[in-house]
Chain A
């Protein structure tokens, strides 16, 4: 039974309680529900987190932005080709500080999802993001990116317009920025498409978000030729916030309310806001060159490898 089944069961149980009204058996049932909540719904496997990260009811970037910044102004287009609706960009103030906000947006409904291309950007989306980052650099404005994408879109148009080139350019330019860059993985962080907004001074991640090199389904179909083994792949790939904190790839985990972000969006937004502002005040103490240095030094250390010590080898040669 995965987390979605449990969620459905909880709904049925709670409905039963409200149907029963004030009768005798209610207190027993309430107890049962509490027990179910405590025992069944707090221990989440990696696959449960994948399901939560992709949950249709999970708050999307736009919901976060609306809560974080009451005066957000959206800026469209990359000034080269068009406007990619899977990336929202603009400026807005959070607690009185003006941020450039760039976010990957999935839809809350089927129609919106089609309009937003399920949160999978085209090159023009990444170029819009780059344009806004350079603008932020000019006005010495901190940058906040919200990451929620299954990956960069693999299609004809995307390839024709240089998907790889657009992502690479973003990475190169982000390493040169001298303003604070804060990235928050709020749902799915899918491969290079996510990293193109994720080269930041500090990377925050919601508790039930995932960040991976490819989807568990993709991994399972390559390794076992069977995409239904995705739950096993999710376990093996180490893609949850806790795993990535262990690896020092991310800096902070933002805890979610019981049952996931969609059980109490307000609380999730509030915690996210607090974490973003704490990080911002921590980073705003650094000079511009220090910010660039810190971002690059951090990335320079990523990797899991060993180097053979050649001093020993010389000893043997003698």
Chain B
């Protein structure tokens, strides 16, 4: 390469780096959630206009009907972990477009801007009332939390990092399934994440998965349902096939409460449906009871 080419490349790299740095600082800024006093939002369950600020103070639960609002990943981390204990890991992954789908990059960029996230999943080190753990959180606001190559890679890294640190893993799942824009690569993430869980598991470490609304498709059929302990938030949609697909297949309406967490607990697939207010306390207890003294 000649000298001019080299300089141009260097400049390009520099610009890219600076942009990334800005993005990073934006993420940090947005961690401090600032909702204006007068913001009202409609509750998806009871349909009542409610004051978001009051709901947030009420642990993101509707004051009127007890509906658990879908939480952003960063809010979840703030809510569950001790203050300032979170250290994010695995930053800097870039989602690519393996099938050259038109508009996929633009879509990703749009979600990046809207959510201040790199992808639909973040993980890192954290503490719950002083108990250390590796925590991973999916964000359904980022393209329905769908699992593509980057999400799969980061989930696998979560378990590998936990093995390295000899720590338990807690993952909050929220996903519409595999990301179809990445085709077969998304499908293979199911095997990849399951294999990562298996390795962490066979070394005797604890994995708690917390299923939140909605957990469906390829995520349900891989790491979400492989926890040693599986907890779920009330009334969360959990299943393999989506309700609409099932309705189309069997040509009838689904019964009330089908594929909800209470239903799954009834059928024996979930250890406990747990109210959001009790979640942090319970997770702390579980971690404490599994503390390794080596």
Contacts and interface: CB of A to CB of B under 8 A. Distances in A.
Contact of B245 (A154, A244, A309): A154
B221 interface: yes
B181 to A, nearest CB: 9
Contact of A299 (B17, B192, B202, B221): B192
Interface string A171-213: 1111110000000000000011001101100000000000111
Nearest to B223: A168
B135 interface: no
A130 to B, nearest CB: 13
Interface in B54-87: none
A171 B21 CA distance: 38
Contacts of B182: 304
A213 B156 CA distance: 20
A171 B201 CA distance: 13
B235 interface: no
A160 B267 contact: yes
A168 B254 CA distance: 24
Contacts of B258: 156, 159
A33 interface: no
Interface in A245-284: 247, 249
A167 B240 contact: yes
Interface string B114-127: 00000000000000
A6 B227 CA distance: 51
A316 interface: yes
The B interface is mostly helix, strand or loop, or mixed, namely: helix
B132 interface: no
B191 A163 contact: no
Contact of A192 (B13, B202, B218, B267): B218
Interface string B28-64: 0000000000000000000000000000000000000
Interface in B180-197: 180, 182-192, 194-195, 197
B183 A162 contact: no
A219 B180 contact: yes
Nearest to A315: B17
> Which of A152, A161, A165, A169 has the most C-beta atoms of chain B within 10 angstroms of its own C-beta?
A165
Contact of A213 (B18, B180, B199, B245): B180
A171 B195 contact: yes
Contacts of B246: 154-156, 159
A172 B198 contact: yes
A303 B94 contact: no
A236 interface: yes
A265 B135 CA distance: 52
A154 B220 contact: no
A237 interface: yes
Contact of A212 (B14, B183, B267): B183
Interface stretch (B95-103, B162-170, B286-294): B95-103
A158 interface: yes
Contact of A316 (B14, B98, B250): B14
B184 A238 contact: yes
Contacts of A172: 194-195, 197-198, 201, 226
Nearest to A316: B17
Contacts of B222: 167-168, 171
B191 A303 contact: no
A247 B183 CA distance: 11
Interface string B260-278: 0000000101000000000
B94 A307 contact: yes
Given A303-B152, A306-B96, A211 B184 contact: yes
Interface of A: 152-156, 158-165, 167-169, 171-176, 191-192, 195-196, 198-199, 211-214, 219, 222, 236-239, 244, 247, 249, 296, 299-300, 302-310, 312-313, 316-317
Interface of B: 13-14, 17-18, 20-21, 92-96, 98-99, 101, 149-150, 152-153, 156, 178, 180, 182-192, 194-195, 197-199, 201-202, 217-218, 220-226, 239-242, 245-246, 249-250, 254, 258-259, 267, 269
